[in-house]
């Protein structure tokens, strides 16, 4: 075969150099035709669009083409010409074809179109080859890039916080333990407890549930930082919104109070959604057509409208007065369930809502106590179809108040000395939040299940590859 440098299909369809000889490589989506001509729809992952390869049967034999079935991978040289077919700009008249890899039609799982998302979860190793997952994964990339772009433009520094840590940032005890001890026969202390001083890190360690506490250390030196990394939670909740391994984005800003924290969260989310609208048009249009025809309208709506800002106490009043029958009853003091959050957003306000000033007893120890002594300066951003997409707060910067909360909540003080030191040395007001990256992707892609917006979902009983 003649050596021609490869053209990605995205370039061949978007900026076709009509009349030139090109090389494309990709996976066959379909092949159809008759004894005079054969049409191959070829995709290389660079775009949702396929390029059509037209094969003149006077130049190729049926025998040569036989292995070119759905899922096979081919290498094609040919002339790029204007397309006759509607909806396409260019197609390729094949001159030379090399078959890289075949895909036996009797066993290739994606032989037919229209598989359910549930079935595709079982073949997570192949589902990136479908239109839907191609679109989702390209959008996922674009959103990750946009996150770095946003913070870089705003002068935030990307801080790499540890994956392995001895601290439980959220104090919820939902951690995966990390150990090199022999679980069958661990070393024991004199009292008969497992002796973690002999473990790899010399103490009980786990995978991080959040980079926040270390993020605060960074903010108290660099002014404004963000983390963006994997976080792990061993909550046994099999819901369409929870993963055991998910990615979190956590900005933390010195001198920001809760109001500025809310402004940042709203501006950030709107930037990301606008970025998707501007840069992922083809993929969004596909997802809109395929799964959720209100998707693009919903994205535009969120960008165009102010988020409602409302104290928890008023939110509870609205829910109590709504007359709506909830599965989980509401009263002041309860932690809101997604059904409550979605009622406020979808039925009552019909807009994203930032709920603030939650009861201290349902929130983490580090949140700043309000003057009422009952509520804390928390803020959750609630989105249509999702519920909570962001959780954040102004942090307690007062050493004594923070130490009292740590004590009150039974968190071992001796493990928190390093965190408390920021309040001992040059403490300052500061705030931050955590955006669940996959929750963002649920919103931006319109997918209904969080397992479908991450390449390889980690959920209870599911971590094979």
Q: Which residues contribute to the site for Mg ion (CB under 5 A)?
A: 391
| 436: contact with ligand 4AD by CB under 6 A | yes
CB of 239 to ligand 4AD, least distance (A): 9
**Interface characters, 160-179, with ligand 4AD (x: CB under 6 A):** ---------xx---------
3-state secondary structure of 2: coil
Residue placing its CB nearer to Mg ion in the complex, 134 or 391: 391
| 384: contact with ligand 4AD by CB under 6 A | no
- Smallest CA-to-CA distance from 228 within 244, 200, 208 is with 208
Q: Which of 43, 161, 212, 459: binder of ligand 4AD (CB under 6 A)?
A: 212
| 439: contact with ligand 4AD by CB under 6 A | yes
CB of 383 to ligand 4AD, least distance (A): 9
* Rounded Cα gap, residues 465 and 451, in angstroms: 14
Of the ranges 194-202, 288-296, 329-337, 428-436, which one interacts with ligand 4AD (CB under 6 A)?
428-436
Q: What does 387 interact with, of Mg ion, ligand 4AD, none (CB < 5 to 8 A by kind)?
A: none
Q: Please name the helix (run of DSSP H) or strand (run of DSSP E) that holds residue 261, with its range, or none.
A: helix 258-279
| 387: contact with ligand 4AD by CB under 6 A | no
User: Who's near 148: CB < 8 A, 6+ residues apart?
Assistant: 158, 228
* Rounded Cα gap, residues 23 and 21, in angstroms: 7
Residue 277: burial class (beta carbons within 10 Å; 0-12, 13-18, 19+) = middle
Site for ligand 4AD in 237-266 (CB under 6 A): 242-243, 246, 248, 250
CB of 130 to Mg ion, least distance (A): 32
Residue placing its CB nearer to ligand 4AD in the complex, 167 or 393: 393
| 377: contact with ligand 4AD by CB under 6 A | no
Q: Which of 159, 316, 389, 444: binder of ligand 4AD (CB under 6 A)?
A: 389
* Rounded Cα gap, residues 21 and 24, in angstroms: 10
CB of 246 to ligand 4AD, least distance (A): 4
Q: What does 436 interact with, of Mg ion, ligand 4AD, none (CB < 5 to 8 A by kind)?
A: ligand 4AD
CA distances from 388 to 115, 174, 379, 383 (A): 30, 18, 10, 6
* Rounded Cα gap, residues 208 and 223, in angstroms: 23
Say which DSSP state 349 is in: I
* Rounded Cα gap, residues 137 and 145, in angstroms: 12
Residue placing its CB nearer to ligand 4AD in the complex, 44 or 214: 214
Q: What does 438 interact with, of ligand 4AD, Mg ion, none (CB < 5 to 8 A by kind)?
A: ligand 4AD
Residue placing its CB nearer to Mg ion in the complex, 91 or 170: 170
Q: What does 199 interact with, of ligand 4AD, Mg ion, none (CB < 5 to 8 A by kind)?
A: none
Taken in order 142, 258, 450, 387, the sign of the CA dihedral is negative
Query: Are 141 and 133 a contacting pair, CB within 8 Å?
Result: no
Q: Which of 156, 358, 433, 443: binder of ligand 4AD (CB under 6 A)?
A: 433
| 438: contact with ligand 4AD by CB under 6 A | yes
Residue placing its CB nearer to ligand 4AD in the complex, 23 or 227: 227
CB of 316 to ligand 4AD, least distance (A): 19
| 432: contact with ligand 4AD by CB under 6 A | yes
The tokens 């959720």 sit on which residue?
Answer: 292
User: Who's near 302: CB < 8 A, 6+ residues apart?
Assistant: 269, 270, 273, 352, 383, 384, 443
Count of helix runs (H) and strand runs (E) in the chain: 13, 16
* Rounded Cα gap, residues 11 and 21, in angstroms: 14
| 392: contact with ligand 4AD by CB under 6 A | yes
Q: What does 242 interact with, of ligand 4AD, Mg ion, none (CB < 5 to 8 A by kind)?
A: ligand 4AD
183's torsion region: left (phi>0), alpha (psi -120 to 50) or beta? Answer: alpha
Say which DSSP state 421 is in: H
Quick count: other Cβ atoms within 10 Å of Cβ 164? 11
Say which DSSP state 404 is in: H
Residue placing its CB nearer to Mg ion in the complex, 129 or 360: 360
Q: Please name the helix (run of DSSP H) or strand (run of DSSP E) that holds residue 388, with its range, or none.
A: strand 387-394
Residue placing its CB nearer to Mg ion in the complex, 217 or 248: 248
Footprint of ligand 4AD on this chain (CB under 6 A)?
169-170, 210, 212, 233, 235, 242-243, 246, 248, 250, 388-393, 432-434, 436, 438-439
């Amino acid at each position: 075969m003649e050596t021609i440098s490869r053209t990605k299909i995205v370039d061949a369809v978007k900026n076709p150099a009509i009349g030139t000889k090109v090389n494309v490589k990709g996976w066959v989506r379909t092949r159809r035709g008759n004894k005079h001509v054969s049409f191959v729809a070829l995709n290389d992952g660079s775009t949702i669009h396929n390029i059509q390869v037209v094969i003149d049967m006077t130049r190729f034999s049926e025998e040569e083409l036989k292995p070119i079935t759905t899922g096979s991978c081919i290498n094609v040289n040919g002339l790029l010409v204007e397309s006759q077919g509607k909806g396409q700009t260019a197609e390729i008249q094949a001159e030379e074809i090399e078959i890289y890899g075949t895909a036996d039609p009797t066993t290739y799982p994606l032989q037919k179109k229209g598989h359910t998302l549930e079935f595709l979860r079982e073949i997570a190793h192949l589902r990136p080859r479908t239109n839907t997952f191609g679109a989702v994964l390209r959008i996922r990339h674009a959103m990750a890039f946009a996150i770095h772009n946003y913070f870089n433009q705003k002068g935030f520094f990307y801080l790499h916080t540890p994956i392995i840590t001895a601290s439980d940032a959220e104090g919820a005890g939902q951690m995966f333990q990390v150990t090199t001890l022999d679980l069958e026969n661990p070393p024991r202390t004199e009292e008969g407890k497992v002796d973690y001083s002999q473990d790899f890190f010399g103490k009980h360690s786990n995978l991080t549930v959040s980079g926040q506490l270390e993020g605060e250390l960074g903010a108290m030196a660099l002014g404004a930082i963000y983390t963006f990394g994997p976080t792990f939670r061993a909550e046994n909740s099999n819901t369409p919104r929870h993963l055991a391994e998910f990615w979190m984005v956590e900005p933390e800003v010195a001198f920001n109070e809760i109001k500025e924290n809310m402004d940042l969260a709203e501006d950030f989310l709107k930037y990301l959604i606008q970025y998707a609208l501007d840069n992922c048009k083809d993929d969004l249009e596909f997802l809109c057509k395929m799964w959720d025809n209100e998707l693009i309208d919903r994205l535009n709506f969120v960008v165009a409208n102010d988020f409602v800002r409302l104290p928890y106490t008023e939110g509870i009043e609205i829910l109590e007065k709504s007359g709506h029958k909830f599965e989980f009853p509401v009263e002041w003091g309860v932690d809101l369930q997604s059904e409550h959050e979605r009622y406020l957003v979808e039925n009552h306000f019909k807009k994203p809502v930032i709920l603030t000033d939650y009861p201290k007893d349902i929130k983490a120890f580090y949140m700043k106590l309000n003057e009422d002594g009952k509520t804390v300066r928390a803020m959750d951003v609630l989105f249509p179809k999702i519920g909570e997409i962001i959780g954040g707060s102004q942090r307690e910067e007062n050493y004594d108040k923070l130490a009292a909360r740590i004590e009150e909540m039974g968190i071992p003080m001796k493990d928190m000395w390093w965190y408390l030191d920021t309040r001992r040395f040059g403490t300052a007001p500061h705030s931050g939040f955590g955006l669940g990256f996959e929750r963002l992707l649920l919103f931006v892609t319109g997918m209904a299940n969080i397992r479908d917006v991450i390449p390889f979902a980690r959920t209870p009983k599911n971590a094979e590859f």
